[in-house]
Amino acid sequence: MASIEWRPEFATGIQDVDHEHRELIGWINQTLAASSQPATPPGQIGDLLGEIFARISAHFALEEHVMSSRRYDQYAEHKRDHEGLLDDIRDIMDDLEAAGRVEERFSTRLTEWFGVHFRTHDARFHHQMPRP
């Protein structure tokens, strides 16, 4: 299955943030690679997806905490976009449970999401509210 390649346009220009985003993509790629191996048991892919879900949720929760405590003007829109990705990951998990595999369309969907979210929502937010 096609992995998600880091592209220059994903970068927010803030080193710590870009590092975390690269790590998230790395985890997703590990899962896509595992799921494209027919010998990988579905339980192992499920565990990886669970790990990804937890890590991405933690990353989002941190951003949302900063946005709400500092009254960021686009908090609602940004949070809504986060929830869209978490819904997609839940769909992938349901799919895995039903079909025993992860479908190709999800790597396309996730690539699109990361490409847009990092360079729009995250770039705007992190530039307006730099980390201390």
Closest CA to 13 of 117, 111, 123, 113: 123
Binding site for Fe ion (CB under 5 A): 63, 122
Please report how close the Cβ of residue 37 comes to Fe ion at its closest, in angstroms. 29
Please report how close the Cβ of residue 74 comes to Fe ion at its closest, in angstroms. 10
Closer by beta carbon to Fe ion, 1 or else 11: 11
Closer by beta carbon to Fe ion, 87 or else 104: 87
Please report how close the Cβ of residue 78 comes to Fe ion at its closest, in angstroms. 6
Classified as helix, coil or strand, 4 is coil
How far apart are alpha carbons 94 and 44 in whole angstroms? 15
Answer yes or no: are the C-beta atoms of 45 and 1 closer than 8 Å: no
